[in-house]
């Protein structure tokens, strides 16, 4: 729906209708979309939003892809400049 905000890292289920804002790193699905669960703890979500890995250079992303595809948010934070 127009005017809705979908937070960074959110996952929207197929054929879902988003009728309200979706928090960062939250999984929603359905019509209307309802929260299924958060992808990470609140502490890790806060850290991921500070890291903003999607703004990194492609070289840095490629070099640290092993951390990006893991659940090691704290390990990812050690290589990020926050």
Residues 9-60 pLDDT 10s: 999 999 999 999 999 999 999 999 999 999 999 999 999 999 999 999 999 9
pLDDT at 12: 98
Q: Please give the model's pTM, rounded to 2 decimal places.
A: 0.86
**pLDDT at position 2:** 81
Alpha-helical segments (H) within 1-82: 42-51, 58-63, 65-68, 73-79
Residue 5 has a pLDDT of 97
pLDDT beyond 70 at 82: no
């Amino acid at each position: 729906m127009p005017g809705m905000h979908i937070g960074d890292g959110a996952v929207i289920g197929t054929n879902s209708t988003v009728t309200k804002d979706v928090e960062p790193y939250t999984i929603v699905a359905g019509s209307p979309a309802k929260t299924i669960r958060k992808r990470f703890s609140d502490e890790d979500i806060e850290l991921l939003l500070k890291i903003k890995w999607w703004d990194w250079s492609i070289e840095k992303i490629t070099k640290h892809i092993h951390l990006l595809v893991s659940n090691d948010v704290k390990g990812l934070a050690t290589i990020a400049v926050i």
